[in-house]
Amino acid sequence: MSIPRISQKELNKLKQIPTTIISDCLNRMNTMHATIKPLFEPVKIVGQAITVQGMVGCNIASHKAIYIAKRGDIVVFDARGYLDTAVWGGVQTIAAKKRGIQGVVIDGSIRDKNEIKKLRLPVFCKGVTPAGPHKGWSDNINVPISCGGCSVSPGDVIVGDEDGVCVIPLKQVKSVIKYSIETAKKEKEWIKKIKKGVPTTKILGLDKKIKEFKIKINK
């Protein structure tokens, strides 16, 4: 299948935006579970998804996905959340680096942790185990998947950093960029006011809610 591509200009804009702001702009939707963490920090990935749907403990399709992906793409692997068998390791990482893949997001476990860290390929995963994969079941590539509690379609934009991973559906890329830039500017103004001593409750309009919810305050 042919994946629709967004412009490099749009990707560059998204690289300047943290996942925290993107998550806020998506109303906390399309934010992967907190259990999916980067293997090392600092880290930042922004690219389009090549999806892999794997059976439990099987990683056949991930090998093929490496050679289907374009430079700068991100492999997103639905490993069914299974942790006791690694579906990504050092061999795939070397191949992925050679192909120019930007990063990997896995709803499962990896192995060869130190080797991957040395290679500096950004990998987000749920766990680490020495137990290797098998290659006995069928997998799928570039189909809609679920990863970290999020629906991911081929070509969706993946943004990952130290705080986690967000998924931006293709049809929402332009609006997310627009609102994220506006939100970032707004936050800068908040910070200026906070540094001048203005209470956050006033800046965020929380004083009214404190009264409305009749929050008990003992002084």
User: Residue 39 and residue 90: Cα distance in Å, rounded?
Assistant: 13
User: Residue 110 and residue 125: Cα distance in Å, rounded?
Assistant: 7
Q: At the top level of CATH, which class does the domain 8-170 belong to?
A: alpha beta
> What is the mean predicted confidence (pLDDT) over 171-187?
96
User: Residue 187 and residue 74: Cα distance in Å, rounded?
Assistant: 29
The DSSP symbol for 130 reads: S
pLDDT at 73: 99
Q: Which of 73, 75, 70, 71 is nearest to 92 (CA)?
A: 75
Question: Exposed (0-12), middle (13-18) or buried (19+): which is 96, by Cβ within 10 Å?
Answer: buried
pLDDT tens sequence across 37-79:
999 999 999 999 999 998 888 999 999 999 999 999 999 999 9
Q: Which of 37, 34, 38, 39 is nearest to 113 (CA)?
A: 39
Q: What phi and psi, each to the nearest 5 degrees, are found at residue 71?
A: -55, 130
Q: What residue spans define the domains of the chain?
A: 8-170, 177-212
Mean pLDDT for all residues in the chain: 96
pLDDT tens sequence across 143-178:
999 999 999 999 999 999 999 999 999 999 999 999
Query: Within a 13 Å sphere around the CA of 35, how many CA atoms are in the beta-carbon half?
Result: 14
pLDDT tens sequence across 85-122:
999 999 999 999 999 999 999 999 999 999 999 999 99
**Is the CA virtual torsion 101, 106, 109, 113 positive or negative?**
positive
**Cβ neighbours of residue 155 under 8 Å, at least 6 residues apart?**
3, 4, 5, 48, 49, 170
